[in-house]
Amino acid sequence: MTTPTGSTAVHSRVEGRAKVTGAARYAGEISCPGLAHGWLVVSTIARGRILSVESDPVRAMPGVLAVVHHGNAPRLNGDYTNLLGRPDPTTVVFQHDRVPYAGWPVALVVAETPEQAREAAEALVIRYDMEPHDVAFHAGCPGTAENPPYLHKETAKGDMAAELALSAFVVDAEYTTPEEHPSPLEPHAAMARWEDGRLEIVDSNQGSRWVADEIATMFSVDPASVRVRSEHVGGAFGSKLLRVHQVLAVMGASVVERPVRVVLTRRQMFSLAGYRSPTVQRVRLGADVDGRLRVLDHQAQCLNASVHRFVEQSTEAAQVLYDADAHHTVNRVVPLDVPSTGWMRAPGMAPGSFALESALDELAEMCAVDPIALRARNEPQTGPVSGLPFSSRRLLACFEEGARRFGWARRDPRPGLRREGRWLLGTGTAAAAFPVGVAPSTATVTAQADGTFTVRITASDPGTGARTALTLIAAEALDVPPDRVRVLIADSGYGRAMVAGSSMGTRSWGWAIKTAVGDLRELLARSQDIPPQGITGRADTSTLMGTLAKRERHTYGAQFAEVAVDVTSGEVRVRRMLGIFAAGRIVNPLTARSQFVGGMTWGLSMALHEGAVRDRAFGDLVGADLAGYHIAANADVPLIEADWVDDPDDDDPIGIKGIGEIGNVGAAAAITNAVWHATGVRHRDLPIRPDRVL
């Protein structure tokens, strides 16, 4: 359905009807003849060794087909490197008797039904040799700054001590964010089956080709004989590349020689799906009397599993938003006996922008400069760390439009003055930025004799609206109405393509589709008729990557929030939020707005609600489920408006910039800054729970 609004048409999701009528099927509900069910057993200790897996009594239980564990599991190849470094050892299941954290996979029970598998899994006795563990993350932990090569290194320029001495104002503060979990609504689920030496996996993931390649490597089979499909995905947020569920399903299917499905439980997702590390961040800002920055020092610390290095790159915002004569950023990691951390929506930028944009607000107060004017005063001419020119930088345009619509000019900067009954009212703002990238992808576009077109690309739509956006991109390139274009995605058989990650999916896939359409046009120009199998144009953008000029490429945004703080209960209510973004070309306003609003909602949740609590004695989480892990509910979420300014980018052949994550960036800081404005109290530790307000 297409509804025109102004000059830009909005398009509801092409798979929307299938989703709301239940016709869309997800990995955990797709069946096949002979299907057996695997149920995972995870460790109850936080560190030690498995002494024995008492599988005999369980094997005699009704319906049980196998109990797979380190003593009998097929050997896997976990000794390889992909684009992101070495695989998380969590996924290389059952290869040794070590337990590095609570919630580590220790056995898989396969049975005829999920109920039988679960009952047997819960009855399985595992004996451990426990060792002392350490899960306590705090500011005093010694950290290391040795990061994997794909992550930023420490950056430094200028003389920190000298510039601090010359600064009229100095903010030196420590900010903390808690452990946060993505926990998408649809759990991680996969069904695997072997047929004539070929492996087929029905999965829920962010990149079917990525998963196929990892599985092929791990099980030492030819990638060409592995097919992974992931038609519909109920949320991912960074947690759905290779995880244990795919490996377990394949291993189970190998052992019982039948198709096997494995679905993680909500609790298991809290240790096996990756999560955002807690952070401790020190920000030092030194400024002249007028607020111009002499010093920007952002030092962040995160934790890691002892078995897997992943860096929450909290200082990324500082590397692009503001320059200073002395500029320093570093991320340090602290290995502990905890589950592997990983990608979670707006990795690094979400916690980092909370610290940096709170510090900017503290500086604004100190220098008595309006927070927006302070940011305008510190607009860099080139990338503060890279030195590269900006491809486009419309941050101030976002602030201008946002300030106008939010009514910022009427704001009295003094805190603690506005009262409405028992509520203190305040407003706050923060800047946002997110990197823009593109990665090689392949695509085909087939022209059929009936005048329709089929696009095939191993894209993923984890609820983002990507499938719909790609339909519009293809239709525009083909110069036909969208209803003549069918976009098939999420099948590893369509070839290599970027995963749905780093806000790079639609940009990367869009470029491949446009290129394939170009190829198709040439083929069509040379042919008289379209044969029954159609005519197919192809693209592989890996050769085009070098044609993009080297630039500082980011999306930008200005976040605004109004809060009310109940001084008797400590409750913080967000009354309204406004986000104005500069994010290149917006392909589909309807789903784009949803992406921004979704990110901002997550920022609200981060500011006020979320925070997993780890039990130091047992090393596991207290309340590892959606009852114990508190997230914003409907009643917590007010009117959230998101819109955008034009952001043309002259030297960019794609023009799309990616919108999946920036909505999350800066949102928590805008709320925190509003809470300060309401109460005069600065909160440097998230979430701002009532007990912290009182």
Q: 344 or 604: whose CB is closer to ligand MOS?
A: 344
506 binds ligand MOS (CB under 6 A): no
Segment interacting with ligand MOS, rule: CB under 6 A, options 222-230, 317-325, 341-349, 464-472: 341-349
d(CA 673, CA 415): 10
Smaller CB separation from ligand MOS, 291 or 462: 462
Is 234 near ligand MOS (CB under 6 A)?
A: no
DSSP sequence for 110-146:
EESSHHHHHHHHHH-EEEEEE--------TTS--B--
Query: Which residue lies nearer to ligand MOS by CB, 499 or 688?
Result: 499
Residue 599 binds to ligand MOS (criterion: CB under 6 A): no
Closer by beta carbon to ligand MOS, 345 or else 609: 345
Is residue 275 near ligand MOS by the rule CB under 6 A?
no
Question: Would you say 241 or 360 has its CB closer to ligand MOS?
Answer: 241
**Chosen residue from 90, 319, 353, 502 binding ligand MOS by CB under 6 A:** 502
Say if residues 90 and 18 touch (Cβ distance below 8 Å).
no
Q: Assess contact for 573 and 693: CB atoms under 8 A.
A: no
Minimal distance in Å, beta carbon 264 to ligand MOS? 18
Q: Decide if residue 347 touches ligand MOS (CB under 6 A).
A: yes
Question: Applying CB under 6 A, which part among 193-201, 337-345, 471-479, 573-581 lies near ligand MOS?
Answer: 337-345
Nearer to ligand MOS by C-beta: 38 or 342? 342
H or E element, residue 363: helix 349-367
Which one of 211-219, 248-256, 310-318, 344-352 is the stretch in contact with ligand MOS (CB under 6 A)?
344-352
Tell me how far, at minimum, the Cβ of 101 lies from ligand MOS, in Å.
21
Q: What minimum distance in Å lies between the beta carbon of 604 and ligand MOS? A: 18
Tell me how far apart the alpha carbons of residues 507 and 657 are, in angstroms, rounded to a whole number: 6
399 touching ligand MOS, by CB under 6 A: no
CB 352 to ligand MOS: min, Å: 14
Instruction: List the Cα angle 684/690/692 in 5-degree steps.
Output: 35
Q: In this structure, are strands 326-336 and 293-305 parallel, antiparallel, or unpaired? A: parallel
Q: Is position 463 an interface residue for ligand MOS (rule: CB under 6 A)?
A: no
Q: How many helices (H) and strands (E) does the chain have?
A: 16, 28
Q: Is 249 helix (H, G, I), strand (E, B) or coil?
A: helix
Is residue 496 a contact residue for ligand MOS (CB under 6 A)? no
Residue pair 499/463 in contact by the 8 Å Cβ criterion:
no
For 208, 217, 218, 251, 595, the CA distances from 81, given in Å and listed in that order, are 18, 10, 11, 21, 32
Nearest to 364 by CA among 425, 281, 283, 292: 292
User: Of 291, 352, 501, 687, which one interacts with ligand MOS (CB under 6 A)?
Assistant: 501
Residue 68 is a binding residue for ligand MOS (CB under 6 A): no
Question: Is residue 477 close enough to count as binding ligand MOS by CB under 6 A?
Answer: no
| Contact yes or no for 603/672 (Cβ under 8 A) | no
- By CB under 6 A, is residue 327 in contact with ligand MOS? no
Report yes or no: 308 and 187 within 8 Å, Cβ to Cβ.
no
Q: Which residues are 561's β-sheet partners?
A: 428, 577
587: which 2 tokens?
């392909």
274 binds ligand MOS (CB under 6 A): no
Q: Which stretch binds ligand MOS (CB under 6 A): 34-42, 339-347, 404-412, 594-602?
A: 339-347
* Greatest CA separation for the chain: 78
Find the shortest distance in angstroms from Cβ 111 to ligand MOS.
33
> Applying CB under 6 A, which of residues 229, 294, 345, 614 lies at the interface with ligand MOS?
345
Counting contacts by CB under 6 A, is residue 438 touching ligand MOS?
no
Give the ranges where 167-285 is alpha helix by DSSP (H). 208-218, 244-256, 266-272
The SS3 of residue 388 is coil
Least separation in angstroms between residue 551's CB and ligand MOS is 21
| Measured distance CA(552)–CA(328) in Å, rounded | 18
Alpha-carbon distances of 404 from 371, 396, 558, rounded to whole Å: 15, 12, 12
The C-alpha atoms of residue 250 and residue 108 are separated, in whole angstroms, by 11
The CA distances from residue 503 to 145, 237, 266, 629, in Å, are 26, 10, 26, 26
Does 235 engage in binding with ligand MOS (CB under 6 A)?
no
Provide the minimum distance between the beta carbon of 206 and ligand MOS in the complex, in angstroms, as a whole number: 6
Q: Does 344 bind ligand MOS (CB under 6 A)?
A: yes
Which residues neighbour 465 within 8 Å (Cβ) at sequence distance 6 or greater? 13, 588, 590, 591, 592, 594, 595
Shorter beta-carbon distance to ligand MOS: residue 206 or 268: 206
Write the DSSP string, 271-336: HHS--BPPEEEEEEEEE-TT--EEEEEEEEEEEEETTB-----TTHHHHHS---SEEEEEEEEEEE
Q: Which of 94, 270, 343, 390 binds ligand MOS (CB under 6 A)?
A: 343
Cβ 91 to ligand MOS shortest distance, Å: 17
Whether 379 is catalytic is no
Nearer to ligand MOS, 445 or 665 (CB): 665
Shortest CB 437 distance to ligand MOS, Å: 10
Question: Could you tell me whether strands 48-54 and 98-99 are parallel, antiparallel, or unpaired per DSSP bridges?
Answer: antiparallel
Nearest residue to ligand MOS, by Cβ distance, number only? 238
Tokens of 693: 């307000």
Whole-number minimum distance, CB 209 to ligand MOS, in Å? 15
Under the binding rule (CB under 6 A), the answer on residue 353 touching ligand MOS is no
What is the pattern of x (binds ligand MOS, CB under 6 A) and - over residues 187-216? Answer: -------------------x----------
227 close to 160: Cβ distance less than 8 angstroms: no
For ligand MOS, the closer of residues 100 and 501 by Cβ is: 501
Minimum CB separation of residue 344 from ligand MOS in Å reads 5
Can residue 658 be called a binding residue for ligand MOS (CB under 6 A)? no
313 binds ligand MOS (CB under 6 A): no
Q: How far apart are CA 234 and CA 594, in angstroms?
A: 15
- What is the distance between the alpha carbons of residues 501 and 72, in angstroms, rounded to a whole number? 36
Of 38, 105, 238, 611, the one binding ligand MOS by CB under 6 A = 238
Site for ligand MOS (CB under 6 A): how many residues? 9
Q: Which stretch binds ligand MOS (CB under 6 A): 264-272, 343-351, 445-453, 616-624?
A: 343-351
User: With helix as H, strand as E and coil as C, how does 521-587 read?
Assistant: HHHHHHCCCCCCCCEEEEEEHHHHHHHCCCCECEEEEEEEEEEEEECCCCCEEEEEEEEEEECECCC
In the bound state with ligand MOS, the residue whose beta carbon lies nearer, of 91 and 502, is: 502
Shortest separation between residue 483's beta carbon and ligand MOS, angstroms: 30
Amino acid at 111: A
Cβ contact 43:99 at 8 Å: yes
Query: By CB under 6 A, is residue 184 in contact with ligand MOS?
Result: no
Closer to ligand MOS by Cβ: residue 206 or 601? 206
Give the CA angle between residues 405, 406, 407 to the nearest 5°. Answer: 95
Judged by CB, which is closer to ligand MOS: 238, or 428? 238
Instruction: Give least dist CB 110 to ligand MOS, A.
Output: 30
Catalytic member of 186, 357, 365, 661: 661
Q: Is the Cβ of residue 445 or residue 469 nearer to ligand MOS in the bound state?
A: 469
List, by residue number, the catalytic residues.
661
Site of interaction with ligand MOS (CB under 6 A): 206, 237-238, 343-345, 347, 501-502
